[in-house]
Structure 1
């Protein structure tokens, strides 16, 4: 049985969901961003309790197939931008490959449901990753641009300013409180 869970955006989210499942004596085979595979089906009562526990921590158990697909798209983008070393891959090709759906369908569904394009969602995720890396203060802006496959520092800086209203330097001077949680994007 597969469950789809909204707002699972990081390894800690996976651990939190795993803890809930263990607490409820529900055995997962696999837990990934936005998705849990169970060893066996759960009944309506278990589903209801699980839903309440997930809600308590800011997650949401998804029933709608289209919403599940939207969450899969988000999870793939988040994984690609935040947790994969190889940034130079084409997101549309990755989505088509992993979801076995036509990109135009995925794009239209995402835009209609979320109010932004997949491409804009990718940009927002990349800017949050830039904010994170700037906060760590361990890489130069040039290194960050390379890591996130920007064509140049100027392109990164222009996109950063367009999204945040600040240059990367201004952001760095103002501090960490300007970052957003991935589930808020």
Structure 2
């Protein structure tokens, strides 16, 4: 039996960090998405131990300033793409305002560190969300295009195909066939 789950990544991450850091008896607070502050001095051996445990869950402690800002850019994009409310400003303006840097600086830094553009990263995140929305089968393609701030279903379909190699409609058909096959196999 398959079950589709919906979760808030912020809540999951906060709870996971709390559970993983509790045994260390270190006071800390979660400042925001992807950012915590230790409220006491932590020895390097303890930091190494914490880093090792967090790495098992795909969580990485970032110390390099450029990498920290790039992670903040990624987190802000994730927050922006997953927002329930559509953006009323361009993503470049949103990122610059949210991160207090010029978009040109953010864009150059992001490309330097990740070897891809912010625009491409946004598209990838939007297509991942579109795939999840299609999988959850709650919205039509028109509603998904609107939710993700696309001008049309055709625009969504073009970007979806560029990233995945298939159209959203083909993706839906594949899912339906898989669901039918899994029901038959029960």
Uncovered stretches (5+) of structure 1, i.e. residues with no partner: 1-8, 177-185
**Shift >4 Å, 4+ stretches:** none
The answer to whether 1:27 aligns with 2:27 is yes
Report the TM-score when normalising by structure 2. 0.83
1:17 deviation in Å? 1.8
Q: Look up the match of 1:93.
A: 93
Report the TM-score when normalising by structure 1. 0.83
Size of the aligned set, in residue pairs, is 167
- CA–CA separation in structure 2 for the residues paired with 1:18 and 1:79: 21
1:168 deviation in Å? 0.6
Q: Look up the match of 1:10.
A: 9
- Between 1 and 2, higher relative CO (CA 8 Å, sep ≥ 6) is seen in 1
1:38 deviation in Å? 2.8
The answer to whether 1:149 aligns with 2:146 is no
| CA deviation vs aligned residue, 1:102-148 (integer Å, no higher than 9, x gap) | 21111001011111100110000000000010001011111111111
Secondary structure at the counterpart of residue 61 of structure 1: coil
Uncovered stretches (5+) of structure 2, i.e. residues with no partner: 1-7, 177-186
8 Å CA contact retained: 1:18, 1:31:
no
Secondary structure at the counterpart of residue 41 of structure 2: coil
Distance 1:170 1:24, change over 3 A: same
Q: How does 1:126-145 map to 2 (within 5 A)?
A: 126-145=126-145
1:86 deviation in Å? 1.9
1:28 deviation in Å? 2.4
Q: Look up the match of 2:119.
A: 119
Radius of gyration: which is bigger? 2
| CA deviation vs aligned residue, 1:62-112 (integer Å, no higher than 9, x gap) | 110100010000000001112x11222322122211221121111001011
1:31 deviation in Å? 4.7
Q: Look up the match of 2:63.
A: 63
1:27 deviation in Å? 2.3
